[in-house]
Structure 1
Amino acid sequence: MPRYRLLSSLGGAALVAGLFLLASPLLGLTTPRAGNPRAETVHKVFPSAVRLQIVAGEQVVRSASGIAFAHDGGRTYVLTNAHVVEPAREWPEGAALRVLPSDGSAGVAANVVARGRVPEADLAVLEVQATLPVTPLAGDDRMELGDDLVVIGAPFGKGLSVAAGIVSQVEYELAENAAAPRRARALKTDAAIGYGSSGGGVFDVPGGRLIGLVEGYRTARVAFGKDAEQYAFDVPMPGETFVAPAAKIRRFLVEKGLGRLAPAEAVAGAQGPVATPAAAKQF
C-alpha cells in the first residue's frame, strides 16, 4: 500500500533509497566542469542550503533541512516545514533549534517566526541573527512538466546531499482570466529523497532559482520472508516526492505578514547576490 511520508529524521543511520550526489562541506565544492549546467546550478545554490537540528541537552532529537532565502536588517530567514519545528511531547524541556550552515561552521541559534498548519500549509520560517548566503524565492510561474531540477537536503541528519530529477506533475491554480499567468498549486518530482530532507530547497536547472520546498513523499512497503523471519522496509515511489511551489510559499509569507521577504517584483530575473557570512551566535 502506498503511504505518504513526512521527511523529518529522528536520528540514526538507514539506507537512503535512490542515488545522491554527496556534497558534504567536509569534502568541499570543486569548480564545476564547463558545459555542465546541473553542476553549475548546484555550485550556485549550495551555499544557501542548511541543516536543522533540534537539541535537548546534549541530544539531537530531530534533524531536517532548510534553505536560507532572505535577509532583513542583519538577520537571515530560512524556509523549512512546519512538521519539522512541531514540538514532541516526549522531548525534554529546553529544546533548542539551531541552523548548521553548508560551510561546516558551528550551529547558529534560530527562532520560529511563522508556522503553517499541516498538511494544508506544511511551511515554517526561521529567523537567524546572522548573515548567511541566500537564494531568493523565484517567481510563481517558473516550472513546467519535464523541466530539470535539483534538490538539496540532509537525509538522516548527515551531510547535505544533492538529488536530481524532473518535474513529474504540476497542479495549477485556477486563473481569474485567460490572460493571467499560470501559478503552480502543487508540484511533484522524481528526485530520490530520504528521511531528513524535509524543508530541502528545490532549484531549477540551469537558472538556479528557488522554485519550491520539499514537503514529503509517497512510499511502498516491500516485505519478504515468513512469520517471525519476515523483513519489511519502505522505498520511495518514483515521481511521488511532493514539493510546495513558489506561489504557495509566497502566499504563506503574505498571510503571515512576511511578504517583504519575497516580493514578486524582485524575482523576475536571476538569483540574487550570495552574502558573506558574518559573526554569529554559536552553539
Structure 2
Amino acid sequence: MSRRGFTRRNVNAVKNQRTFVLILVIATIVIDHDRAVGDELDVRVPRTDAGRLSESFRRVAEQVLPAVVTIETMNGPRKTRQWEMREMSLRHRSDASTMDHSDGSRGRASYGTGSGIIIDRRGYILTCHHVIESADTILIYLSDGRRFHPASVWTDPRTDLAVIRIEGAGDLAEAKLGDSETLRVGDWVVSVGDPYGLGISVSAGVVSAINRQSPDGSSTRLIQTDAATNPGNSGGALINLSGEVVGISEGGYGLSAGFQGIGFAIPVNVADRIARKLMDNGHIRRAYLGCHTNSISAAVARHIGLAEKRGVIVSDVTAKTPADTAGIRIGDVLTHFSGSVVDDPYHFQQMIDQAEPDHQYEVTIVRGSLHLKVQVRLELLHENDEFDRGFSPHQTGHSRQRTDESLGMDLDELGPEIAGELGFRDASQGVLITNVAVRGPAYDEGVSAGMVILRVDDQAVHDLAGYQAAMKNKSLDEGVLVLVGTPEGNHFVVFQR
C-alpha cells in the first residue's frame, strides 16, 4: 500500500469522523432543545393551574366585596389633648374632680373596627357580638362609601353573633350563604374583611381544621383556617371558591397583635340559624336541661363497663330542673338525644341549644347494665341576651354651661385664659365645647371636648348668643354644616340626624 493511498483513506476517515461528530452535535442540540421545550411545558402547566386559581380568587372577590361592610365603634368621651391636660391641672389644684359626670367623662375615648356581611338586601347585616359589644356608637360603612347608623341591633353573646339593621339604604347586594357542613380540611377559602381599619381586603388560605373547640370554651365548634385573620377581620366573611359564605370570621389565636397563621370562623350554618331567629324575634329563646356532662375517657368507659366509648357522662344535676324531673342522675351516660347520637359534651350542648323550650325530647341513658329511654321537657333558659339599644343623645347634667341637647354637647364662652391654656391664639373666635355626650350627633362626627365651633353654615360664631342665633331654625334632618377648630387646625363636619 502506497503512502498516498494510506493518506487518502486517512483523510476519508477523518472526514467521516467529522461528519459523525457534527451529527452528534446537531442531535445533542435537538435533544437539548426538546428538553428545554419539555421543561418549558412542565413550567407552563402549573402556571396555567395557578392562573385558574387566581381567576377563582378574583371572581370570588368580585362577587362578595359589595356585600361586606366596615363597622366602626366608639366608646367613651372625646377630648383634645389640651383639654385633658386642663382637666388634669384643675383636678390637681382642687384635689378633686370637677368633671364627675354619670356618662364617664373622665375616661378616654376608644375606637374599634370590625366587619360585617349583608345577609338580607333589606338592610340586615351579620357580624360578631364582640365587634359591637358595649359600643356607645356604631357606624356602618357600605362598599360604596355610604354611612349608616343602626336602626336596630340584636346580639347573641353565647355564639358571638349579632345582627344589625339599617334603614334607607335601598336594595343592597347580599352575600350568598353556603353550607359549612361540606367543608373539608385542605379546601381553599378566601377571607374578606377590614383588617386594622385599612379598608376591605382579601386574603386566601386553606381550611386547617373543622369542628375545632372554641378557645373561649363556648359550645360552638369553629372552622380553623390559615387565611389571614387580623384585628378588624372579625365579623367578615370566609368564602369558598364558589363565592358562598361558609363562615363568619371570629378572630385569630393568641395574645400577639400579629397574625399567627391560626384564624377561626363560626360555621355559617350556625350563624344563619341564629341570625334568622334574631331577625324574627329580636332575641334567642334557648332551652336548658339542667345537668353538666363530661367526655368519657377510655379509663372511665372501662370502669363503668361501657361496651363502646360514646356519649357523655353526667357530672352534676341541678335540683328542680328538667333533668332532675326526668330522673337523670349523676353517673348516667347519655348516648342519644331525640334519636341522634351524642358525640361529646360540646355536641350535646349544641343539641340542647338548637332544641325548643317547652318541647319534649327523648333521651337514651346507660345506667350500669340498664338501657333507659326517658322523656324530658326542656324549659326556657332565662338570660339577658338582648342588645337592642337606642342611640339618642342624653343630657350631661352641667349646671353652669349651656347644653345643646339636639347635638349632645355642652358649650361655654371661650375666654382668654382658657384659650391660652388650650393653645388657641384668638379668644374672640368661636364657642368652646366643654363636654360631648356619648351617642349624640356631635360624638358621632368625631367632635371632642376642647374644640371650638367657629361657623354654622355661613354664619361666623363669636359667642354663645351668636351660636344660638346661627342654630335657630336649623334642621338636623336636612343637616347642618359646622366648622370646628382645634389648635392644630379646623375642619368641617355635618351634623345630621
**One fold, TM greater than 0.5?**
yes
TM-score range, shorter chain: 0.5 to 0.7
TM-superposed CA distance for 1:68, in Å, is 0.7
The C-alpha deviation readout for 1:181-228, integer Å capped at 9, x for no partner, is: xxx9421100112111110111101x100111011211365xxxxxxx
Mapped contact 1:187–1:242 kept (Cα < 8 A): yes
Q: Measured at CA, do residues 236 and 188 of structure 1 come closer, stay the same or move farther in structure 2, by a change above 3 Å?
A: same
Amino acid at match of 1:116: D
Mapped contact 1:219–1:235 kept (Cα < 8 A): no
CA distance in structure 1 between the partners assigned to 2:184 and 2:134 by the alignment: 36
Mapped contact 1:153–1:162 kept (Cα < 8 A): yes
Alignment correspondent of 1:218: 253
CA distance in structure 2 between the partners assigned to 1:80 and 1:191 by the alignment: 18
Alignment correspondent of 2:224: 188
1:146-161 alignment runs, 5 A limit: 146-161=186-201
Aligned-pair identity (%): 28
Residue segments in structure 1 that go unaligned for 5+ positions in a row: 1-32, 89-94, 174-183, 222-233, 260-280
TM-score (norm 1): 0.61
1:200-215 alignment runs, 5 A limit: 200-205=236-241, 207-215=242-250
Q: Measured at CA, do residues 151 and 254 of structure 1 come closer, stay the same or move farther in structure 2, by a change above 3 Å?
A: same
The C-alpha deviation readout for 1:60-106, integer Å capped at 9, x for no partner, is: 722211111113xxx31111110111115xxxxxx332211112x23
Q: Aligned-pair RMSD on alpha carbons?
A: 2.9
Q: Measured at CA, do residues 135 and 256 of structure 1 come closer, stay the same or move farther in structure 2, by a change above 3 Å?
A: same
Mapped contact 1:53–1:60 kept (Cα < 8 A): no
Alignment correspondent of 1:275: none
1:100 has 2:123 as partner: no
Q: Measured at CA, do residues 258 and 145 of structure 1 come closer, stay the same or move farther in structure 2, by a change above 3 Å?
A: farther
Alignment correspondent of 2:162: 124
The C-alpha deviation readout for 1:20-43, integer Å capped at 9, x for no partner, is: xxxxxxxxxxxxx87711111111
TM-superposed CA distance for 1:160, in Å, is 0.9
Alignment correspondent of 1:63: 113
Alignment correspondent of 1:42: 61
TM-superposed CA distance for 1:258, in Å, is 3.6
Q: State the SS of the aligned residue for 1:253.
A: helix
Q: State the SS of the aligned residue for 1:141.
A: helix
Alignment length (residue pairs): 194
1:161-200 alignment runs, 5 A limit: 161-171=201-211, 185-200=221-236
Structure possessing the higher radius of gyration over alpha carbons: 2
Q: State the SS of the aligned residue for 1:235.
A: coil
TM-superposed CA distance for 1:55, in Å, is 4.3
TM-score (norm 2): 0.36
CA distance in structure 1 between the partners assigned to 2:258 and 2:71 by the alignment: 24
Q: Measured at CA, do residues 216 and 112 of structure 1 come closer, stay the same or move farther in structure 2, by a change above 3 Å?
A: farther
1:237 has 2:275 as partner: no
Alignment correspondent of 2:126: 79
Point out the structure with the larger helix share.
2
Q: Measured at CA, do residues 198 and 111 of structure 1 come closer, stay the same or move farther in structure 2, by a change above 3 Å?
A: farther
CA distance in structure 1 between the partners assigned to 2:118 and 2:172 by the alignment: 7
Q: Measured at CA, do residues 37 and 99 of structure 1 come closer, stay the same or move farther in structure 2, by a change above 3 Å?
A: same
Q: Measured at CA, do residues 102 and 257 of structure 1 come closer, stay the same or move farther in structure 2, by a change above 3 Å?
A: closer
Point out the structure with the larger strand share.
1
TM-superposed CA distance for 1:111, in Å, is 3.6
Greater relative contact order (CA < 8 Å, ≥ 6 in sequence): 1
Mapped contact 1:113–1:126 kept (Cα < 8 A): yes
Amino acid at match of 1:136: K
